[in-house]
Amino acid sequence: MRITIRDVSEAAGVSFKTVSRVLNKERHVRPATRERVEAAMKALNFRPSYAARALAGARSFQIALIYDNPSPYYVHTIQMGVRARCMEDRIRMIVQPCDLASPGLAAEIGGLVDETHVDGVILAPPLGDIAAVTAELERRGVPYVRITPGDPTVAEARVTMDDAGAAARMTRHLIDLGHVRIGFVTGPAGHVSAQRRLEGYRSALAEAGIAAEAGLMAAGGFDFETGEAAAGALLDAAAPPTAIFASNDDMAAGALAAAHARGIAVPDALSIAGFDDIDLARAVWPPLTTIRQPIHALAYAAADMLLDTDGSGGAGAVPDYELVVRGSTGVRRAE
């Protein structure tokens, strides 16, 4: 037999409305009462009905995570961060991939909102920088939070990290190891985080008095295949780099493959570094030196901001990035 909210109210000795307030995380419930209701739900193994909760008020108790990113590891971590926060409030997460190149992207997202009646939307990068998308959500009055948007000064709710500072930190690490010819594999054109990582690379080179050579930069698309192709082009050049910094781990793994295919020893003859510290960074050989981006924490903070009931909004606080040194980088070998 299905346990209902009325069963919980009887077991806890409170009213039907009080149980509803606890389920909806309303603040005006005494702590002792809340604990009694939560204990009754646990004892009865109560599973709230999303449909019933929606019928009881204007909320659907669903939020949507929308993304377009070629890295499955990154996307999975974002999903887990949002899901962890949703589970705390018994909110259902709808995960919706999209195509940034689609001319009907904004309309498609608007249609998703209309069909599901979600209470809010989380925009994974770079969706938060597409004006047509945010305008469509604003037109419908749907709350949204942007993860690492391009312009952190815009008033909309967002969670951010210092991509430029993190990329500069990695570049300085390679410089400290004696590398001067440092190749860089960029991310997709138009992706603001990718642009900022390129800026950080350039600024660290300038700080060290090293010229940023166009021939040491190659375009990638945040996926393994483009990383392998870009690194291959750099390594086949007349004056190849002694280190390659790829602006995400998928591309850095591709750079490793390119080096292995050419019989180039890593890190003895070539250092390779990435960005993100996804699971893949520890699965390749040698394991990647990388920037640990707090992806899970960023996603959790975005969901927390969206589900916040006190209306505080603002930018979410997340842990800082971290340089993680592993076996793929080493001191430059004397020539």
The tens digit of pLDDT for each residue in 71-114 reads 888 889 999 999 999 988 888 999 999 988 888 999 999 998 88
Residue 262, both tokens: 């050419």
Higher-confidence residue of 225 and 14: namely: 225
Q: Is the pLDDT of residue 157 over 80?
A: no
8 A C-beta contact, residue 61 and residue 54: yes
Mean pLDDT of the chain: 87
Per-position DSSP letters for 12-70, written without gaps between them: HTS-HHHHHHHHTT-S-S-HHHHHHHHHHHHHHT----HHHHHHTSS--SEEEEEE--S
The hierarchical CATH code for the domain 62-161+295-318 is 3.40.50.2300
Angle (nearest 5°) at CA 47 between 45 and 52? 145
pLDDT of 155 reads 53
pLDDT of 258 reads 98
CA distance between the termini of the chain: 76
pLDDT of 55 reads 42
Phi/psi at 228 (5° precision): -65, -45
Report which secondary-structure segment, H or E, holds 121: strand 120-123
Least trusted range by pLDDT, from 176-185, 195-204, 223-232, 325-334: 325-334
**Annotated domain spans of the chain:** 62-161+295-318, 163-294
pLDDT of 192 reads 85
User: Same fold for the domain at 62-161+295-318 and the one at 163-294?
Assistant: yes
pTM for this predicted structure: 0.77
Phi/psi at 201 (5° precision): -60, -50
238: CB partners within 8 A, 6+ apart: none
317: CB partners within 8 A, 6+ apart: 301
270-305 burial, b at 16+ Cβ within 10 Å, e below that, comes to: bbbbbbbbbebbeebeeebbbbbbbbbbbbbbbbbb
* CA-based torsion, 115, 141, 122, 306: positive or negative: negative
Higher-confidence residue of 103 and 150: namely: 103
Residues 5-59 have pLDDT tens digits of 778 888 989 887 788 778 777 767 888 898 998 898 888 887 765 544 544 455 7
Pairing outcome for strands 120-123 and 158-159: unpaired
Residue 244's DSSP bridge partners are: 183, 272
Q: What's the one-letter identity of residue 175? A: I
Report which secondary-structure segment, H or E, holds 258: helix 249-261
pLDDT of 323 reads 97
pLDDT of 191 reads 84
Residues 247-303 have pLDDT tens digits of 999 999 999 999 999 999 999 999 999 999 999 999 999 999 999 999 999 999 999
Residue 89, both tokens: 């409030």
3-state helix, strand, coil in the chain (%, to 5): 45, 15, 40
* Architecture of the domain spanning 163-294: 3-Layer(aba) Sandwich (3.40)
Pairing outcome for strands 144-147 and 158-159: parallel
The span from the CA of 158 to the CA of 83, in Å, is 18
Give the ranges where 89-191 is alpha helix by DSSP (H). 105-116, 131-140, 163-176
124-156 burial, b at 16+ Cβ within 10 Å, e below that, comes to: bbbbbbbeebbebbeeeebbbbbbbbbeeeeeb
